[in-house]
Chain A
Amino acid sequence: MALAPKRPKRVSAGIVTIILSLLSVVMMTVWILEEPTGPLHSVRAASLTLAAPLQQAGTFVGVPADEVRKTVDEITTSEEDIAELRARNEELLALTLRLEEYRIENERLARLLDVVDAYSLSGTTARVISRTTDSWNRTITINKGTSDGLSIGMPVMNADGLLGQVETVGLFSSTVRLLMDQRSGVAVFLQSSRTEGVVSGSSEGLLYLDLIPLAAPVKQGDAVITSGAGGVYPKGLIIGVVASVSHDSSDVYQTIVITPVKRVDTYEEVFVMTGRQSEVSWNPDALAESKKDGEENPDDAQSPDTNQNTQDVLSVQGGQPAQQAQNDDTQNSGGSQSSDTSANSSARSARGN
């Protein structure tokens, strides 16, 4: 009679599950407590590098899917929408012509004061290789990493405005957390009234402008621009326009929904700002010289508008060292969310979330 082979002693499934669950909880706790440069964060950054080729390959799959989406959008666009877009297009054309005039005037005044153009930003362009892989985050992956000089916290934009900031950096790729994400927060002001607030994302995929008092004048179509407060994003980058304004009788702040300038899922290239910028930098010697010229030639004295611009420049000068120091603090701590996110959490609590 043959003996049955001896079966190895097996560990109970329940015990295995408990051990693995505990391991997961420990990982989660370490992840939450550790710095963004900690070991688990580094493991994620390394895995980002490994996944980059796979994500790049995924873009080939994405092309037909995006085409299908665009076609569906076009089919479902009503005649009213098309008429509205045509009217908006005409308005924008007129606005562009006016802005061109302002741009030329701005250049002339900037030359006079030797002011550097606010948008002479230093950085690198990158290609979007993937979008968020789960429903809970609004992120994109770009094909540039530490090898291209990118680091955590750098602002990312495209031709249409600000998009977000770098959150995880691998060797050849990085993840950018978009403004639409509920963990993002940006200090902004309304272009028309200069009222300051905070733009934050939400789980339903909308952008909210928070902390705007009920008394502040806000109307549909107002442009929303970064204020530079918080030190993460430079001043003057467009985020979107006001889509709707509402409030309840018990509210302290208005509920304002922002429409981004461009749909998040349609862009392919982005610009990562690697250098340090504020709105403007200035040359005090050149300013003194221009003032001297003005005194010597009273006929060529600056108009009241120009004097106002000079005061603006001087006020920027006063604020710049403090902002620079704040930027340094952000960089040293490696925190990508820093003060802008703390603004976001206060904005969310104000919204009652």
Chain B
Amino acid sequence: MINAPVELAASSRRQHLITVIVLGILAFILQIAVAPHISIAGVVPNFIMVAVCVVALTNTPTRSSVYGFVLGFAFDLFSQGPLGIMALILTVMGYTLSTLNRGSFESNWLIELFVAAVAIFLAEVLHAVALAIIGYDANIVHSLLFRALPGALFETILVLIVLSVAKLVPRKPEAKKRTALAGLDSKQAQKAKKAAKNKSPFAKKWTSERKIR
């Protein structure tokens, strides 16, 4: 009886982890098998970056950075660039995006998309600059114009599609689930929500987390 909420939470976490892993495998397969065939003017979409972006918007910073590293390393293995460059970029991107998201704009879908687009663009620019620094890419201006910018646009569209699909999928409201896990009734949950509303976004997040614990 006492362990029921804990078991429920563990089961939910496991389910979430499986979803994240499946998303990673799917992104990897798409990158290897499909992406080369849907390139436009030499710009190949980076499904792996899209997956890291989506996971970072819905997960903890630790999990996001580890996820970014693993998928980035897989990308590096199968591309022809220096090994470790995409792993580095996606690790930093995963951590930063997840930290920002949990701190301020968790509930606003449009802001999420905007910040994801900025993060993707910065990641592409960072990639181009890193390649230029190590002498792999000679013309940084051309790289930015013909690779980074169109690539970022392509990937932002993909993030938009993935987030739209995720919104369409019916799911149990998160707040309700958390309340059930914490053993609170709906009145208590509403009180906590009201109190949190009067505080800053950071305070709101911490209040709700404390209530759950």
The answer to whether A58 and B75 touch (CB under 8 A), given A44-B83, A202-B142, A204-B146, is no
CA distance A134 to B34 in the complex (A): 11
The answer to whether A130 and B36 touch (CB under 8 A), given A13-B60, A13-B99, A24-B88, is yes
What A residues does B29 contact at CB under 8 A? 54
Q: State whether B78 touches A61 (Cβ < 8 A).
A: no
Q: How many residues of B contact A (CB 8 A)?
A: 57
From A15-23, A280-288, A307-315, the one touching the partner chain is A15-23
What B residues does A106 contact at CB under 8 A? none
B142 interface neighbour in A32, A177, A203, Cβ under 8 Å: A203
A19-73 interface with B by 8 A CB criterion:
20-21, 23-28, 31-32, 40, 43-44, 47-48, 51, 54-55, 57-58, 61-62, 65-66
From B42-50, B110-118, B187-195, B203-211, the one touching the partner chain is B42-50
What B residues does A31 contact at CB under 8 A? 82-84
Q: State whether B137 touches A203 (Cβ < 8 A).
A: yes
What A residues does B88 contact at CB under 8 A? 21, 24-25, 28
1/0 per position for A160-198, CB-CB distance to B under 8 A? 000000011000000101000011000000000000000
What B residues does A43 contact at CB under 8 A? 77, 83
Q: State whether A133 touches B44 (Cβ < 8 A).
A: yes
Interface centre among A21, A31, A167, by most B CB within 10 Å?
A: A21
A residues whose Cβ falls under 8 Å from a Cβ of B: 2, 5, 10-14, 16-17, 20-21, 23-28, 31-32, 40, 43-44, 47-48, 51, 54-55, 57-58, 61-62, 65-66, 130-139, 167-168, 175, 177, 182-183, 202-205, 345, 348, 353
7 A-B pairs within 8 Å (CB atoms) are namely: A13-B98, A17-B61, A21-B91, A55-B33, A130-B36, A182-B138, A348-B139
B residues whose Cβ falls under 8 Å from a Cβ of A: 2, 6, 29, 31-39, 41-44, 46, 60-62, 65-66, 68-69, 72-73, 75, 77-85, 87-88, 91-92, 95, 98-99, 127, 131, 134, 136-139, 142-143, 145-147, 150-151
Ranked 4 nearest A-B pairs via Cβ: A58-B33, A27-B84, A24-B88, A13-B61
Extra contacts, 14 of them, besides A13-B60, A20-B91, A43-B77 (Cβ < 8 A), are A12-B62, A13-B62, A16-B66, A16-B95, A23-B87, A24-B69, A26-B84, A54-B32, A134-B81, A137-B79, A167-B80, A204-B146, A205-B42, A345-B138
